[in-house]
C-alpha cells in the first residue's frame, strides 16, 4: 500500500520493479518445467512429449503477452 505522501512516480517505479521480479520468477519456473518435464518426455520418447512442448509454448506466449 502506498503512503499518502509518496510521489506517484516512486509508487509506479515500485510497481514496475515488482512486475519485473514476478516476470523473472515466471522465467525460472518455465525453465525448470522445460528442463525437467519436457526434456525428460522427449528423451524417453513418451507420447506426452508433444503435450509438454505445447504447454511450454503456451507459457512462453503468455509471458510474451500473446
Question: How many secondary structure helices (H) and strands (E) does the chain include?
Answer: 3, 0
Spatial distance between the Cα atoms of 47 and 10, rounded to a whole number of angstroms: 50
Model's pTM, two decimal places?
A: 0.60
Evaluate whether residue 1 is within a structural domain: no
Evaluate whether residue 45 is within a structural domain: yes
pLDDT > 70 in the chain, percent: 91
Evaluate whether residue 64 is within a structural domain: yes
Evaluate whether residue 6 is within a structural domain: no
Evaluate whether residue 47 is within a structural domain: yes
The confidence score (pLDDT) of residue 3 equals 64
* Structural domain count of the chain: 1
Q: How sure is the predictor about 34, in pLDDT bands with cuts at 50, 70 and 90? A: confident
Could you report the per-residue pLDDT of 7-23, keeping only the tens digit for each? 888 888 999 999 999 98
Domain of 57 in residue numbering reads as: 28-66
Spatial distance between the Cα atoms of 16 and 29, rounded to a whole number of angstroms: 20
Q: How sure is the predictor about 26, in pLDDT bands with cuts at 50, 70 and 90? A: confident
- Cβ(30)–Cβ(59) below 8 Å: yes
Amino acid at each position: 500500500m502506498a503512503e499518502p505522501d509518496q510521489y506517484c512516480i516512486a509508487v509506479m517505479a515500485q510497481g514496475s520493479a515488482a512486475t519485473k521480479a514476478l516476470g523473472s520468477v515466471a522465467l525460472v519456473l518455465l525453465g525448470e518445467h522445460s528442463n525437467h518435464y519436457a526434456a525428460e518426455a522427449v528423451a524417453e520418447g513418451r507420447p506426452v512429449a508433444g503435450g509438454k512442448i505445447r504447454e511450454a509454448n503456451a507459457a512462453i506466449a503468455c509471458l510474451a503477452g500473446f
